[in-house]
Amino acid sequence: MTKRKRPRGSRGARDVTNAGGNSSASGQGASDLMVLMPTSGSLIKRQLQIKEIINRLAETGFSQMALVHTIYGRPKPEDRVDTAMPKSLWETSRTDDDENKPKDPPIRIYRRLHVVLENLSDVGLYMKNQGLCQELLKEYDLISVCPRNEGVFQSACATASVADIVTLDYSIRGTRLPYKIRPADIKAVTERGMAVEIPLVPALLHTKQRKALVQTSRELQRSCAGMKPTIIFGSGDRTFEESDVGTMGFRMPGDITNLLQTVLHFDAKTAKVATGAACEMVIRRAQARRWGESDVSAVFLHEKGKPSALNPPTTKEDDENSDADMNGDEIDGTPIAKAARVGHNDDEASDDPVGDGFIQF
């Protein structure tokens, strides 16, 4: 009698959820919160491309995604969510019971507004209680800001409380960001419960931008000393040689986790939650912002004794062990001085750590 072989899962999709939405080992499904909307082609072509992307993400272990509509500066009437991102782009009619009833996609879809900020005067539109465009902003499930210079970046981190995500776009200029990341900026973002996001696809598609990804990650790690910001990674711009590569630009959750640890040198915890629990924190903050939570940041600060996706409930024994570790020289076997530096790599002798075999497209 021959043994029946156990079916193997997809490579890189271990410990993540499938399209059915089953929980992973960490209790959260994988999410890609930066899937840019197709902008070229006919309506039918864009519908087919979005459908292919949804199916690709569902098959590779993602349970949630955010379609992104990009604007520059101030929102306009045509940027209203039902005009810019109608649900008809990804919803189809049922063919079995009711033809008029929309068919649910295999994964949960959020609609996100991505704001590219170049002028300091535009940052004020994304402050709390600035009512000029609040109605339009509340229509979106998620809001992100992408600063393009030093002054806008500092102002956005300190005052743009309507935004849920601050995106670090390293593909703008050379091999570095067009601004410096200061610890004060990361502290302001962390206190508001906002997340810091780094897109991955530009570095996967363009050889010249791979060093920029590594440099951005290192600069972020150095600025996070002693703090625990929410760090997430999304897909980003899929343009290669003036065309959208579509599903070719996506990677499995397991591949992303390995990339964050082995190439970008983030610590294991940050790499594990970057596409899972950290994204859940962002979504929860956005929901509280939209529905009028009085103090959004208080819900998401990683305070002791307040369970969250990144700070799970602890037992009395865990608390005693934690207190004992803090009184000693180590935390979970790691020296305190090293543990305070989030994912920092001490070996920085080489300015160009990216070789030819980084990630092949």
Of the pLDDT bands very low, low, confident and very high (cuts 50, 70, 90), residue 354 is very low
Q: How many CB atoms are located within 10 Å of the residue 68 CB?
A: 24
Q: Is residue 287 scored above 70 in pLDDT?
A: yes
The confidence score (pLDDT) of residue 100 equals 58
Higher-pLDDT residue of 135, 231: 231
Note the pLDDT tens digit of each residue in 175-215. 789 999 999 999 999 999 999 999 999 999 999 899 999 99
- Token output for 75: 């929102």
Of the pLDDT bands very low, low, confident and very high (cuts 50, 70, 90), residue 97 is low
pTM, whole model, 2 decimals? 0.75
What is the pLDDT averaged over residues 280-303?
69
What is the pLDDT averaged over residues 257-267?
95
CA distance 170 to 214: 10
Higher-pLDDT residue of 352, 244: 244
- Least confident among 71-85, 120-134, 308-322: 308-322
Q: Is residue 143 scored above 80 in pLDDT?
A: yes
Helix (H) or strand (E) holding 109: strand 108-117
Q: Is 314 exposed, middle or buried (CB count within 10 Å of its CB: 0-12, 13-18, 19+)?
A: middle
Higher-pLDDT residue of 308, 187: 187
Q: What percent of the chain has pLDDT over 70?
A: 69
Of the pLDDT bands very low, low, confident and very high (cuts 50, 70, 90), residue 242 is confident
Sorted by sequence, the CB contacts under 8 Å of residue 156 that are 6+ apart come out as: 117, 123, 126, 145, 147, 163, 166
Of the pLDDT bands very low, low, confident and very high (cuts 50, 70, 90), residue 129 is low
Q: Which residue has the tokens 């935004």?
A: 163
The confidence score (pLDDT) of residue 99 equals 56
- Specify which residues 114 forms β-bridges with: 70, 144
Q: Is residue 231 scored above 60 in pLDDT?
A: yes
The confidence score (pLDDT) of residue 105 equals 83
The confidence score (pLDDT) of residue 75 equals 92
The confidence score (pLDDT) of residue 339 equals 35
Higher-pLDDT residue of 296, 38: 38
Phi, psi of 30 (to 5 degrees): -80, 145
Q: Which residue has the tokens 């033809």?
A: 99
Q: What is the mean pLDDT of the chain?
A: 78
Q: Is residue 276 scored above 90 in pLDDT?
A: yes
Higher-pLDDT residue of 260, 98: 260
Note the pLDDT tens digit of each residue in 156-176. 999 998 999 999 999 987 778
Domains, the chain, with CATH or none: 30-300 (3.20.20.140)
DSSP for 254-270, written as a single string:
HHHHHHHHHTS---HHH
Higher-pLDDT residue of 229, 352: 229
Identity of the highest mean pLDDT range in 257-261, 329-333, 350-354: 257-261
Residue type for position 146:
C
The confidence score (pLDDT) of residue 176 equals 84
